[in-house]
């Protein structure tokens, strides 16, 4: 009855690469940097977690969709602050996608006894770099 | 049972693995490799994190005693610790072939499957173990770890509460309730769990360290961050962003701007202050 339970299913794992970041922590650069920062870190972390390509594409797509939504807000409203708010909201939504796809794989990695990598440096770099990139793209594309 | 074995077992139960090893070394040569003496030796070595020696000891024990599910359990665990998971699986399956209903073997195999991302199989294995011994500490611990790996923190905490209820004297139960409460942001419950665990087993460094980490979380400077810890970053943020948008919508842009500024400052605070407090509290301790 439980024959399948007692037959071997574990294969040799590839040697651990770079340790992943805690997916929960990506919320900070997502909040300050916007959708592209969240998606960039999400895809990089997804590679560290060895996610399937479909999941990586979903994260990248969510980032692009978030940025498109932000551009629409920029196009249809006056002033800076709705665009800024849209950046935060879409950033958080992209982070939700990242979290939903990476929480389990991250916890499995943690079960194997590997601690997370520090997100502080890459987080700042992504928030500032992608934030600036979005600002420039919005100016070039929408105005 | 031999008096030395009794004594070693008692030392282990109170978290004194080094003294237990000393006690075991007083056994006469023909008893050292006995299955039970070997199991105690492995348990002591594992508490000291000396897993290579656990592997060596079990191989010696298996050579002396022949196939033995309890020794295979320890060999499987040590192979898993060494990162040789396919080998660990083979050893644990050998053990399960001898003792298909052994709760420890089932749970060790479930752990191994979970660590390899096979959470469904791990769940079925632990269900088998739970059908045998629903209240065994190892079954509780494995179910909690599995719920945590699934990302189901609420269920993990629920099982931990049950574990503490059934085994109020077990320090591991308190420690697990502490860590599952911490995962849900319940700082005081988490501190209480680790405090009780550390009180029940003062020799276990990790319990004391976790209690200390939670003292960081209970520091007065961390009080403003309680909402984030308790309700999660997302809900707190949704409320704040909703308030800001709402104030703007009802025609109070100045108030909305002020709240937005306070909120931004709060976010920066939540990013910068925790590491500083941690450094400060732990320096006072070490």
The DSSP annotation for B180-206 comes to HHHHTT-HHHHHHHHHHHHHH-TT-HH
Separation between Cα atoms, residue B203 and residue B80, nearest integer Å: 25
**Which pLDDT score is estimated for B91?**
96
Cβ of A92 under 8 Å from any chain B Cβ?
yes
**What residues contact residue B195 under an 8 Å CB cut-off, 6+ apart?**
B211
CA distance B106 to chain A (A): 10
- Cross-chain CB nearest to A13 (options B113, B116, B267): B116
User: Does the structure show a pLDDT above 70 at A70?
Assistant: yes
Would A123 be classed as within a structural domain? yes
Kindly determine whether residue B233 and residue A111, on different chains, have CB atoms separated by under 8 Å.
no
Rounded CA separation B71/B74 (Å) = 5
Neighboring chain A residues of B132 at a CB cutoff of 8 Å = none
A66 pLDDT above the threshold of 60: yes
Q: Which residue segment(s) compose the domain that A121 sits in?
A: 23-142
Q: Residues of B with CB below 8 A from A8's CB? A: 86, 89-90, 93
* pLDDT tens string A83-105: 888 898 899 999 999 999 999 99
Q: Tell me what the mean pLDDT of segment A114-121 comes to.
A: 87
Confidence of residue B251 (pLDDT cuts 50, 70, 90): confident
Q: How many CB atoms lie within 10 A of CB B81?
A: 16
Token pair recorded at residue B13: 């139960």
The full set of domains in chain B, from first to last, is 1-84 (1.25.40.10), 220-286 (no CATH)
Q: Is residue A12 part of a domain?
A: no
Residue environment code for B39-66, b if the CB has 16+ CB neighbours within 10 A, otherwise e: bbbbbbbbbeebbebbbebbeebbeeee
Instruction: Tell me the ipTM for this assembly.
Output: 0.76
Residue A142 has pLDDT above 80, yes or no: no
For chain A, positions 56-85, list CB contacts with chain B under 8 A.
Answer: 85
pLDDT tier, A3 (very low <50, low <70, confident <90, very high otherwise): low
Q: Where residue B284 falls among pLDDT bands split at 50, 70, 90?
A: low
Distance between CA atoms of residues B91 and B54, nearest Å: 14
B1 pLDDT band, cuts 50/70/90, is low
pLDDT of residue B99: 94
Indicate yes or no: CB of A108 within 8 angstroms of CB of B241.
Answer: no
| pLDDT score of B167 | 95
Does residue B201 belong to the interface with chain A, where contact is any CB pair within 8 Å?
no
**CB proximity B96 to A under 8 Å:** yes
Residue A129 in any domain: the answer is yes
Residue A124 touches chain B, beta carbons under 8 Å: no
What tens digit of pLDDT does each residue of B156-206 get?
999 999 999 999 999 999 999 999 998 888 888 999 999 999 888 887 788
pLDDT above 70: percentage of residues in chain B: 98
Name which of B86, B96, B271 is nearest A6 (Cβ-Cβ).
Answer: B96
Q: How many CB atoms lie within 10 A of CB A121?
A: 9
Task: Note whether A108 contacts B100, CB cutoff 8 Å.
Answer: no
Q: Does B99 touch chain A (CB under 8 A)?
A: no
Domain for residue A17, yes or no?
no
| pLDDT value, residue B101 | 93
A12 touches chain B (CB under 8 A): yes
pLDDT class for A2, splitting at 50, 70, 90? Answer: low
- Report the domain count for chain A: 1
Confidence at residue B132, expressed as pLDDT on a 0 to 100 scale: 94
What mean pLDDT is reported for chain A? Answer: 89
- Between CA B182 and CA A73 the distance in angstroms is 39
Tell me whether A118 touches chain B (CB under 8 Å): no
* Residue with the larger pLDDT of the pair B245 and B101: B101
Residues of B in contact with A10 (CB under 8 A): 85-86, 88-89, 112-113, 116, 118
Q: At what angle do helices A35-48 and A81-111 cross, to 10 degrees?
A: 10
How far A141 CA sits from the closest chain B CA (Å)?
Answer: 26
Share of chain B above pLDDT 90, in %: 49
- Among partner residues B119, B125, B241, which is closest to A88 by beta-carbon distance? B241
Q: pLDDT class for B285, splitting at 50, 70, 90?
A: low
- Name chain B contacts of A88, Cβ cutoff 8 Å: 241
**A8, A10, A96, best to mutate vs chain B, most B CBs in 10 Å:** A10
Q: For residue range B126-155, what is the model confidence (pLDDT) as tens digits?
A: 999 999 999 999 999 999 999 999 989 999
**Chain A residues within an 8 Å CB radius of B234:** 27, 92, 96
Cα Rg for chain A, rounded, in angstroms? 18
- A137 CA: distance to closest CA in chain B (Å): 24
pLDDT band at B100 (very low <50, low <70, confident <90, very high): very high
Confidence of residue A18 (pLDDT cuts 50, 70, 90): confident
pLDDT reported for residue B4: 84
How confident is the model over B226-238, as a mean pLDDT? 77
Decide if pLDDT at A1 tops 70: no
Query: Residue B12: is its pLDDT beyond 60?
Result: yes
């Amino acid at each position: 009855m439980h024959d399948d339970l007692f037959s071997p299913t574990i294969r040799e794992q590839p040697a651990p690469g770079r340790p992943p970041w805690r997916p929960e922590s990506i919320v900070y650069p997502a909040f300050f940097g916007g959708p592209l920062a969240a998606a960039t870190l999400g895809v990089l972390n997804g590679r560290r977690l060895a996610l399937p390509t479909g999941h990586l594409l979903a994260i990248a797509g969510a980032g692009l969709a978030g940025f498109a939504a932000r551009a629409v807000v920029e196009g249809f409203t006056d002033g800076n602050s709705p665009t800024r708010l849209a950046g935060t909201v879409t950033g958080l939504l992209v982070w939700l996608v990242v979290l939903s796809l990476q929480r389990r794989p991250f916890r499995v990695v943690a079960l194997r006894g590997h601690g997370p990598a520090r997100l502080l440096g890459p987080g700042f770099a992504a928030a500032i770099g992608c934030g600036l990139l979005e600002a420039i793209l919005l100016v070039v594309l929408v105005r | 049972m031999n008096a030395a074995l009794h004594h070693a077992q008692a030392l282990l139960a109170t978290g004194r693995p080094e003294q237990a090893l000393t006690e075991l070394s007083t056994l006469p040569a023909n008893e050292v490799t006995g299955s039970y003496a070997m199991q105690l030796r492995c348990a002591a070595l594992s508490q000291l994190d000396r897993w290579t020696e656990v592997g060596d000891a079990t191989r010696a024990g298996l050579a002396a005693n022949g196939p033995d599910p309890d020794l295979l359990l320890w060999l499987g665990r040590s192979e898993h610790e060494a990162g040789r998971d396919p080998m660990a699986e083979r050893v644990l399956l050998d053990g399960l072939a001898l003792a298909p209903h052994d709760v420890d073997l089932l749970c060790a195999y479930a752990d191994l499957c979970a660590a390899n991302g096979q959470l469904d199989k791990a769940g079925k294995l632990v269900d088998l173990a739970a059908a045998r011994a629903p209240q065994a500490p190892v079954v509780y611990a494995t179910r909690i770890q599995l719920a945590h790996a699934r990302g189901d923190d609420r269920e993990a905490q629920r099982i931990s509460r049950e574990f503490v209820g059934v085994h109020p004297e077990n320090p591991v139960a308190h420690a697990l309730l502490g860590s599952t409460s911490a995962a849900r942001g319940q700082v005081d419950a988490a501190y209480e769990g680790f405090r009780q665990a550390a009180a029940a087993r003062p020799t276990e460094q990790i319990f004391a360290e976790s209690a200390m980490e939670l003292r960081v979380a209970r520091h007065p400077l961390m009080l403003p961050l309680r909402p984030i810890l308790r309700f999660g970053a997302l809900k707190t943020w949704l409320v704040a962003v909703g308030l800001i948008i709402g104030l703007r919508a009802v025609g109070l842009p100045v108030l909305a701007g002020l709240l937005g500024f306070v909120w931004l400052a709060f976010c920066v605070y939540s990013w910068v202050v925790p590491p500083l407090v941690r450094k400060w509290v732990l320096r006072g301790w070490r």
